[in-house]
A and B are shown apart, each in its own frame.
Chain A
């Protein structure tokens, strides 16, 4: 296959040329997926921490459900969000379909279970260490949750990145609710799908390489941030 060589060449050319269309698409991808990650963290961490700390009837079932929802198919999420946001749907009046907001909502629905399930595991492991000490100190539940979230923050950063990775890589949900509209809702993955459907496999592959590079850059900068923060945490 000369497609790979061609794809590499194209990927370099694309990045070096600073093509404004490409930059726009990259920018939207980042904005949508990072926003989805933040929203999912707000909900997912709250759910994960609550389930990790509290004991209530049906807790086992909730954990099974959370873990299962990590495998939500993006297409199904896209379809559900589409049906909700469609003008024929209950939330149609919001006029959000085919906007970046709709894409953020779909990706948030997709990755909130991932953040919740993974953070639940991380926090529960830490809590099993802290539990006896906390009981001795009469630590109120909300303080305990705050302490767990804070002390596990570096592990939770990895959890958030797992969510971001899933969000930025999925195409099934955003293409349905975003519509892959040029200059409005086109992101990296839908652009790749489009170029594949045009049979321009080399360009699709090149875009894929750019997407991978972005993912690496995001992860690297978060890791850099993390080690800087860790160095200053005790200063």
Chain B
């Protein structure tokens, strides 16, 4: 049948035209780290991973999502290492048997940013709690992640500590974007709303408009990162050896120094505080 033959030729031509090839698959010498947008967007991984890869030959693939989704993905065994910032959720992850030992890696800190007009007059407040109370009192717009991420969880904790019930104000002055940190900051800048963000994201964020850091330095604003291996007993696919060597390196003096030396606009973004490293050094 000429028609069929001609059709085949047509299909073949299409295939050739598209240059279809066998897609690359992550090989054995690579691991997947489920992590957060805040670390990835700052550029930290772009800085430290090549150093690790050069040393060990292990390729590290980072999936950057919200902490909530990162933990969920790791529970589905879709990753080898988890590096996030929501200590209680991480501890639950380990307690439930999804992860092995959790270790502190580093911290950065949260800051409250807002428009220079500062309608709630919080600029320079030493206490994050006081600042949030003033925002609620003034019913000034506040953009929240609203996505169950590490930053969102930290924010909820701060509101609770400040004694403000934000549930009733949702949709009024309290705006939940349900998006990542960057998208939420874009929204905050767009509507002139206050927002809680981590310093790393803020420094590397390019769409600041005229926004400024209004509140910083409160101890309650510290943002602790933890790292852990996904449990190979629960997830047989986990590349335990390669994953553990990444964790060991991150916690080693070499890894910690790498984190410390990462700078953006001349500023250090992350403060290593793995157990071997005393906290004071980082401050």
Q: Which of A31, A35, A150, A181 contacts B6 (CB 8 A)?
A: A150
Task: Given A150-B3, A196-B186, decide whether A99 and B23 contact each other with a Cβ distance below 8 A.
Answer: yes
- Alpha-carbon distance A174/B26, docked complex (angstroms): 16
In the complex, identify which listed stretch (A88-96, A115-123, A124-132, A209-217) lies at the interface while the others stay far away.
Answer: A88-96
Q: Which of B17, B41, B73, B237 contacts A198 (CB 8 A)?
A: B41
- Alpha-carbon distance A142/B214, docked complex (angstroms): 72
Q: Is the CB of A99 within 8 A of B64?
A: no
Question: Using a CB-CB cutoff of 8 Å, which residues 204-242 of chain B contact chain A?
Answer: 204-208, 235, 237
- Interface: A37 (CB within 8 A): yes
Q: Is the CB of B63 within 8 A of A198?
A: no
Q: How far is the CB of B189 from chain A (nearest CB, A)?
A: 8
In the complex, identify which listed stretch (B124-132, B154-162, B175-183) lies at the interface while the others stay far away.
Answer: B175-183
Question: Using a CB-CB cutoff of 8 Å, which residues 195-216 of chain A contact chain B?
Answer: 196-203
Q: Which of A34, A96, A184 contacts B18 (CB 8 A)?
A: A34
Task: Given A143-B3, A184-B24, decide whether A199 and B18 contact each other with a Cβ distance below 8 A.
Answer: no
Complex interface: chain B residues within 8 A of A104 (CB): 23
Q: How far is the CB of B167 from chain A (nearest CB, A)?
A: 26
Question: Using a CB-CB cutoff of 8 Å, which residues 1-57 of chain B contact chain A?
Answer: 1, 3-4, 6-7, 10-11, 14-15, 17-21, 23-26, 32, 37, 41, 46
A-B contact count (CB 8 A): 115
Complex interface: chain B residues within 8 A of A37 (CB): 18
Complex interface: chain B residues within 8 A of A149 (CB): 7
Encode contact with B along A75-107: 1 for CB under 8 Å, 0 otherwise.
000000000001111001001111111001000
Instruction: Using CB atoms, name the residue of chain A closest to B32.
Output: A98
Complex interface: chain B residues within 8 A of A109 (CB): none
Q: Is the CB of A99 within 8 A of B18?
A: no
Task: Given A146-B3, A184-B24, decide whether A196 and B183 contact each other with a Cβ distance below 8 A.
Answer: yes
- Interface: B77 (CB within 8 A): yes
- Alpha-carbon distance A87/B24, docked complex (angstroms): 19
Task: Given A146-B7, A181-B62, decide whether A199 and B77 contact each other with a Cβ distance below 8 A.
Answer: no
Interface size class on chain B is 35 or more
Task: Given A197-B37, A198-B206, A201-B206, decide whether A146 and B23 contact each other with a Cβ distance below 8 A.
Answer: no
Q: Which of A101, A143, A179, A199 contacts B208 (CB 8 A)?
A: A199
Instruction: Using CB atoms, name the residue of chain A closest to B180.
Output: A197
Q: How far is the CB of A106 from chain B (nearest CB, A)?
A: 13
Q: Which of A86, A87, A92, A199 contacts B182 (CB 8 A)?
A: A199
Complex interface: chain A residues within 8 A of B26 (CB): 95, 98-99, 184
- Alpha-carbon distance A153/B3, docked complex (angstroms): 12
Q: Is the CB of A95 within 8 A of B18?
A: no
- Interface: B185 (CB within 8 A): yes
Complex interface: chain B residues within 8 A of A42 (CB): 11
Task: Given A97-B78, A150-B3, A199-B182, decide whether A31 and B23 contact each other with a Cβ distance below 8 A.
Answer: yes
- Interface: A168 (CB within 8 A): no
Q: How far is the CB of B220 from chain A (nearest CB, A)?
A: 26
Encode contact with B along A53-92: 1 for CB under 8 Å, 0 otherwise.
0000000000000000000000000000000001111001
Q: How far is the CB of A207 from chain B (nearest CB, A)?
A: 14
- Interface: A182 (CB within 8 A): yes
Q: Is the CB of A92 within 8 A of B18?
A: no
- Interface: B61 (CB within 8 A): yes
Q: Is the CB of B205 within 8 A of A198?
A: yes
Task: Given A37-B18, A38-B20, A98-B26, decide whether A197 and B78 contact each other with a Cβ distance below 8 A.
Answer: no
Q: Which of A87, A89, A194 contacts B237 (CB 8 A)?
A: A87
Q: How far is the CB of A155 from chain B (nearest CB, A)?
A: 13
Residues of A within 8 A of B (CB): 31-32, 34-35, 37-38, 41-42, 86-89, 92, 95-101, 104, 143, 146-147, 149-150, 153, 160, 179-182, 184, 194, 196-203, 225
Listed from nearest, the 9 A-B pairs whose CB atoms lie closest are: A197-B182, A199-B207, A87-B77, A179-B63, A88-B76, A100-B23, A34-B18, A200-B206, A199-B205
11 contacts between A and B (CB under 8 A): A32-B23, A37-B18, A38-B15, A38-B20, A86-B78, A99-B25, A143-B4, A146-B3, A150-B3, A184-B24, A200-B206
